[in-house]
Chain A
Amino acid sequence: MLTRRSALFGTAMAALMFSVPAFAAADLDLPREKATLVAPPFVMTHEQATKAGPKIVEFTLTIVEKPVVIDEQGTTIPGMTFDGSIPGPMMVVHEGDYVEVTLVNPATNSMMHDIDFHAATGGLGGAELTQVNPGEQAVLRFKATRSGVFIYHCAPGGPMTPVHVVSGMSGTIMVLPRDGLKDQNGKPLHYDRVYYIGESDFYVPRDEKGNFKSYTEIGESMPDMLDVMQKLTPSHVVFEGKVGALTGKSALKANVGETVLIVHSQANRDSRPHLIGGHGDYVWERGKFANPPQVDQETWFIRGGSAGAALYTFRQPGVYAYVTHNLIEATLLGATAHFKVEGKWNDDLM
Chain B
Amino acid sequence: MVHRLKLAAKAGLFAASLVADAAQAPSADVGSDAPETVAVAAAAFGYRLAGDFQEEGRTVDAPKETRSVASFRIMKYQLTGAQYDSCVAERACPARPKSQSRAPRLPAVMLSFEDASAYAAWIGAKTGETWRLPTDEEWRAAAGTRARDDATGLAKDADPSERWLAKYDAESAEAKDEQRLRPIGGFGANEQGLFDLSGNVWEWTDTCSVRYSIGPAGAQPMTTNCGVRVVEGEHRTYITDFIRDARAGGCAVGKPPANLGVRLVRGGRTISGLIARIKTIFEGRVAWL
- Residue ranges of A at the interface with B (Cβ–Cβ < 8 Å): 71-74, 209-211, 244, 247-249, 251, 276, 316-321, 323, 331-332, 336, 338, 340-345
Instruction: Please determine whether B248 and A331 come into contact, CB atoms closer than 8 angstroms.
Output: yes
Instruction: Please determine whether B172 and A209 come into contact, CB atoms closer than 8 angstroms.
Output: no
Instruction: Please determine whether A248 and B177 come into contact, CB atoms closer than 8 angstroms.
Output: yes
**A-contact bits for B154-180, CB 8 A (1 contact / 0 none):** 000001111011001101110101111
Q: Which of B68-76, B113-121, B218-226, B251-259 contacts A (4 or more CB under 8 A)?
A: B251-259
Instruction: Please determine whether B258 and A249 come into contact, CB atoms closer than 8 angstroms.
Output: no
Cα(A345)–Cα(B58), bound, Å:
13
Cα(A244)–Cα(B175), bound, Å:
11
Cα(A210)–Cα(B97), bound, Å:
9
Report 21 cross-chain contacts, Cβ distance below 8 Å, ordered by A residue: A72-B178, A72-B180, A73-B180, A210-B98, A247-B255, A251-B172, A276-B252, A318-B161, A318-B165, A319-B164, A319-B254, A321-B252, A331-B247, A332-B248, A336-B252, A338-B168, A343-B161, A344-B159, A345-B159, A345-B160, A345-B161
Instruction: Please determine whether B161 and A317 come into contact, CB atoms closer than 8 angstroms.
Output: yes
Neighbouring A residues of B24 by C-beta, 8 Å: none
Neighbouring B residues of A343 by C-beta, 8 Å: 161
Besides A248-B175, A317-B159, 10 new A-B residue pairs in contact (Cβ under 8 A), listed by A number: A74-B180, A211-B101, A248-B255, A249-B172, A249-B173, A251-B168, A319-B168, A319-B253, A340-B168, A345-B159
Most chain A beta-carbon neighbours within 10 Å: one of B98, B168, B175, B177: B177
Instruction: Please determine whether B99 and A248 come into contact, CB atoms closer than 8 angstroms.
Output: no
Instruction: Please determine whether B164 and A318 come into contact, CB atoms closer than 8 angstroms.
Output: yes
Cα(A316)–Cα(B159), bound, Å:
11
Instruction: Please determine whether A73 and B179 come into contact, CB atoms closer than 8 angstroms.
Output: yes
Neighbouring A residues of B252 by C-beta, 8 Å: 276, 321, 323, 336
Given A317-B159, A317-B165, A336-B252, answer yes or no on A209-B180 (Cβ-Cβ < 8 Å).
no
What distance in Å separates the Cβ of B123 from its nearest Cβ neighbour in chain A? 26
**A-contact bits for B191-206, CB 8 A (1 contact / 0 none):** 0000000000000000
Interface residues of B in 90-140 (CB under 8 A from A): 97-99, 101
Residue in contact with B99 in the complex, picked from A72, A211, A244, CB distance below 8 Å: A211
What distance in Å separates the Cβ of A53 from its nearest Cβ neighbour in chain B? 45
Neighbouring B residues of A73 by C-beta, 8 Å: 179-180
Instruction: Please determine whether A342 and B98 come into contact, CB atoms closer than 8 angstroms.
Output: no
6 tightest A-B contacts by CB? A317-B161, A248-B172, A210-B99, A72-B179, A318-B161, A319-B253
Cα(A335)–Cα(B4), bound, Å:
40
Neighbouring B residues of A317 by C-beta, 8 Å: 159, 161-162, 165
Given A210-B99, A211-B99, A249-B173, answer yes or no on A316-B161 (Cβ-Cβ < 8 Å).
yes
What distance in Å separates the Cβ of B25 from its nearest Cβ neighbour in chain A? 42
Neighbouring A residues of B177 by C-beta, 8 Å: 72, 244, 248
Cα(A47)–Cα(B98), bound, Å:
54
Neighbouring A residues of B165 by C-beta, 8 Å: 317-319, 340, 342
What distance in Å separates the Cβ of B241 from its nearest Cβ neighbour in chain A? 20
Most chain B beta-carbon neighbours within 10 Å: one of A211, A319, A321: A319
Name the residue on A nearest B160 (C-beta).
A345
Given A319-B253, A343-B161, answer yes or no on A209-B168 (Cβ-Cβ < 8 Å).
no
What distance in Å separates the Cβ of A274 from its nearest Cβ neighbour in chain B? 11
What distance in Å separates the Cβ of A71 from its nearest Cβ neighbour in chain B? 7
Given A72-B258, A211-B99, answer yes or no on A338-B178 (Cβ-Cβ < 8 Å).
no
Neighbouring B residues of A276 by C-beta, 8 Å: 252-253
